[in-house]
Amino acid sequence: MAMLFLASGPDMPIVPASKRAIVTLLYGEAYRAQWERVAMKGWLVYAEKNGYDLILVVGPLESGNRPIAWQKCLILSQVWSSRYERIVWVDADILINPSAPDVCYGVPAEKIGVVAPYGQFSTAELLIHHMRQDLFTGQSVPETEEVFLPDEINRKLAREHIDRVQLSEDMDVSDVDDFHILNTGVLVLSPLFHRSILEACYQYPHRTRSYEQNALSYLIYKNKLFFEINYRFNMNLSHILSIHYPDQFLVLCNQEQHRVNKDILEYALSVEFINSYFLHFCTLGNLFGLIDEVPCYTTLRQNHAAVLNRSVKIKSVS
């Protein structure tokens, strides 16, 4: 039977009930209460179904002035983490669909399992997303769209992102094959193999709103640790809304929750939750806070039978 543990510091006496654990950060009483109301049931059912302990880090693993997102780089340095064969890091702003399969399945112990950048989108959708993201966030948008083959656009977007994110001076990506910035919201890790990688990442300076993602992406690719897992294990809701529900995406970008269309947003969330294994509310914390009810389907049949229902509910807004 899987166990739920609260880790409030580096020396918590955790005795594993399983060889594997799912770990996340929950700082602040208000955010923790929100997560427990919205997400916890799905996480617990998934952990029990697939044989994971669930560890909620509710206190600092190390004091310092960095944003708390960097604390994920310390999870393999704890006494309790060495007692597990596998640790799966999952950002707290993710809804887990309990009908999802085991995220560790097929990932070699020496590799880091992570979703490929933009793996869920076609080339056309990528262009639409980046055009709209730039437009809605005040960036310059070209008057005409260039046409790229799939591999070309991935390289172009990676290069543009590298230019924007200000990688540290000692990150030379010229000798790294197929370098991309990864979304590190879901990571399949092995304490035996990956502790040193995360600790090395923690030594890089905090430079951008991407927090640890730039440095960790660099280290994963440089050390040839990347192992692609199914993109449904980190479905980026922000990108989905920008492509398919741009009016709702713009309202949320502008922090105008009172203007959301409740019917449209509930249907969109219900469909995307069913389509995903782990649905990531990356940059959409205001929407995560609006959720009122999330279904808990434990089988794929139940999951897809509900695709036409508005099964995810959000609070009434005014």
**Per-residue DSSP letter, 205:** P
What token pair was written down for 211? 């927090």
The C-alpha atoms of residue 68 and residue 205 are separated, in whole angstroms, by 14
- pLDDT surpasses 90 at 48: yes
* pLDDT, tens digit (0-9, with 9 covering 90-100), for 290-308: 888 887 777 767 776 666 6
Domain 4-118+180-314 has CATH 3.90.550.10: yes
CB 282 within 8 Å of CB 236: yes
Q: What is the mean pLDDT of residues 217-232?
A: 94
Helix (H) or strand (E) holding 21: strand 20-25
Helix (H) or strand (E) holding 216: helix 213-222
Q: Is 60 strand, coil or helix?
A: coil
The C-alpha atoms of residue 49 and residue 284 are separated, in whole angstroms, by 28
The C-alpha atoms of residue 93 and residue 99 are separated, in whole angstroms, by 18
For the chain, what percent of residues have pLDDT higher than 70?
Answer: 83
The C-alpha atoms of residue 154 and residue 240 are separated, in whole angstroms, by 18
Mean pLDDT of the chain: 84
* 58, amino acid identity: V
Partners of 96 in beta bridges: 278
Predicted pLDDT at 146 = 55
CB 249 within 8 Å of CB 241: yes
State the first-to-last Cα distance of the chain, in angstroms, to the nearest integer: 43
pLDDT band (50, 70, 90) for residue 114: very high
- pLDDT surpasses 70 at 286: yes
CA-CA distances (angstroms) from residue 193 to 85, 201, 255? 10, 14, 41
- pLDDT surpasses 90 at 26: yes
- pLDDT surpasses 70 at 147: no
CB 253 within 8 Å of CB 136: yes
Phi-psi map region of 131: left, alpha, beta (phi>0 left; psi -120 to 50 alpha): alpha
- pLDDT surpasses 70 at 168: no
What token pair was written down for 253? 């970008």
Query: What are the backbone dihedrals phi and psi of residue 231, each rounded to the nearest 5 degrees, phi first?
Result: -60, -20
DSSP annotation string for 70-131: GGGGGGGGSTTGGG-SEEEEE-TTEEE-TT---TTTT--TTSEEEEPTTTT--HHHHHHHHH
* pLDDT, tens digit (0-9, with 9 covering 90-100), for 244-279: 998 888 888 888 877 888 888 888 998 899 999 999
pLDDT band (50, 70, 90) for residue 111: very high
CB crowding 284-295: b at 16 or more within 10 Å, else e: bebbbbbbeebb
Q: Which residue has the higher pLDDT, 6 or 90?
A: 90
